[in-house]
Structure 1
């Protein structure tokens, strides 16, 4: 008996139109926020403020880029924020003990990649739900980060000042790093076999396996890659702050990245996602946080806003999937 295997569904004109409408809605919201902020405070459109926003969202953008590819394949990693915390802690201690910059960078990102791979092994071979497995890892990593720095702030002086505070062509260097990462992820998702396989796995893992895709291998690569980008984001955050402190990275950073990806239209069930949507989601959350700061609104409302936006986006995501 012959078995007919169905591959990933093609991108139809209707699908493209839905994505265009969703992105147009996000762009409209961004425009409204910019107009509102410009009217309420003169500081919003100042060069220093806009550059500061770009510098801040660059870290989230790198985490969100890896998460977009992972979630498109039906995966999830809630430990990326904890991975950032551990990476910054390890790198800060290595700098404090006189290690070279390149050794510190390579060791930190290698550690972050290993953490991602461990998550991939647990999720792939034990069949534990990604949410449960990576949330447990996130809690563990937050504690490990505190142990590494002994609950104190560890300064790196000006070791990475060129990356964290330097500019090229008038733009922060962190922006160029984030843009390069986003471009690479976009190219992978659109033009490579690996990217198409990620969509297929997220659409239907069993069908993808029957069609000859090495699902286990690809999932390990996806989790490892997401971990590596979390490590890079940790280095970027450390270069901007100049120190690793309790609370650096962690769950709040993770939730912001997840919210940005979901707002951008990446499906929580897998099989759908775009880097452009993720960029819009990152900018939206960054601008909202900036406006709240400029208007001197309590930081508690920033946390509330991220949670509210994530909840609304998740509901919209689910309703859209049902209609599809």
Structure 2
């Protein structure tokens, strides 16, 4: 006797009449940022099991305050990298901004004047980067890395290689809260939100995606690529200045080594692990925010479980390397589709 094999049951139709896909655990791999969220949850749970100090309100507020500076830098970097650009001098720009701000405040200048002067200088630095990259055709990596080295030296000259305290000036901005939320976090959220809206709903944002996807085609379609690039580097400069002032207000002083390469690499790592393409054409602010939080939590966890601070740069470097490799695998996979 032959046995008839019943056909597979059809997918259940959705409201529109189209077949509804069955849920499988593998589908989670296609949920945006699911992997990043999963890693963040694992790190948080593991840290909570290791130490009681992690889940306290004071520690959570401290972590959020610390990552706010990185988030502002990373927001500008996300927009720039989406357009195929790169700025390795943002950490150096922060160093110069904190040094200048500290000197101005310590010599009796008003907070308003200090804020304006610092952000104008930072924006000018960004524009210079933009001019070099756009009109000399020097690779962004090379141009901005050279600028970063120069800025680190300028910061030391401004400080005369000593720490400069600003006393209680700007202390409230860097350390106070409103309804339990740090002012610095509010600023970071606003910057991230505005960046996301610009990328999603404005012509400027769409142009950034187009330039990153194919600069030649973008130029043929009528986009003023040079002007857009110049504006993007100016924005990263301005946000570096804002981040520098945020860092200065939180620390209450500027010292040799404030900002610099460590802050820069953390921001780059956050943007890359968040899903923004190193080659341009794709960027996500939500992913960047998750990347910033993940790196901040990892750094805090290492500190709480008393792992040597020397391992923190190791962790950031490892994360950046893994993210870069994963980015290349993702591009290769997308090209095969």
- 1:49 partnered with 2:56: no
1: CA distance between counterparts of 2:90 and 2:236?
8
How far off its partner does 1:145 sit?
0.0
- After superposition, the C-alpha distances for 1:248-305 in whole angstroms (9 at most, x for unaligned) are 0000100000000000000000000100000000001000000000000011111100
Matched, 1:274 2:306: no
User: Counterpart in 2 of 1:214?
Assistant: 224
3-state SS of 2:222 partner: coil
Q: CA RMSD in A?
A: 1.1
For the pair shown, the structure with the greater C-alpha radius of gyration is: 2
Equivalent in the alignment of 1:152: 162
Q: Give the secondary-structure state (helix, strand or coil) at the position aligned to 2:33.
A: helix
Alignment of 1:232-243 (within 5 A): 232-243=242-253
Deviation at 1:97, TM superposition (A): 1.0
Count of residues paired in the alignment: 308
Separation of aligned partners in 2, 1:83 and 1:275 = 22
Report 1:85-124 matches (<5 A). 85-124=95-134
Q: Distance in 2 between matches of 1:310 and 1:187?
A: 26
Gaps of 5+ in 1: 1-16
Q: Quick check: 2:78–2:285 contact (8 Å CA) kept in 1?
A: yes
Distance in 2 between residues matched to 1:301 and 1:97, nearest whole Å: 38
Determine the structure 1 residue equivalent to 2:260.
Answer: 250
Task: Give me the TM-score of the superposition, normalised by structure 2.
Answer: 0.90
CA shift for structure 1 position 22: 4.5
Separation in 2, partners of 1:145, 1:322: 41
Equivalent position of 2:92 in the other structure: 82
* Deviations 1:201-225, CA, capped at 9 Å, x for gaps: 0000000000000000000000000
| Structure 1 CA distance for aligned equivalents of residues 28 and 234 of structure 2 | 31
Q: CA deviation at 1:21?
A: 3.0
Task: Verify: 1:59 aligned to 2:69, yes or no.
Answer: yes
SS in 2 for 1:42: coil
TM-score (norm 1): 0.94
Task: Call closer, same or farther: CA 1:276–1:19 in 2, change over 3 Å.
Answer: farther
In 2, Cα distance between equivalents of 1:58 and 1:264:
16
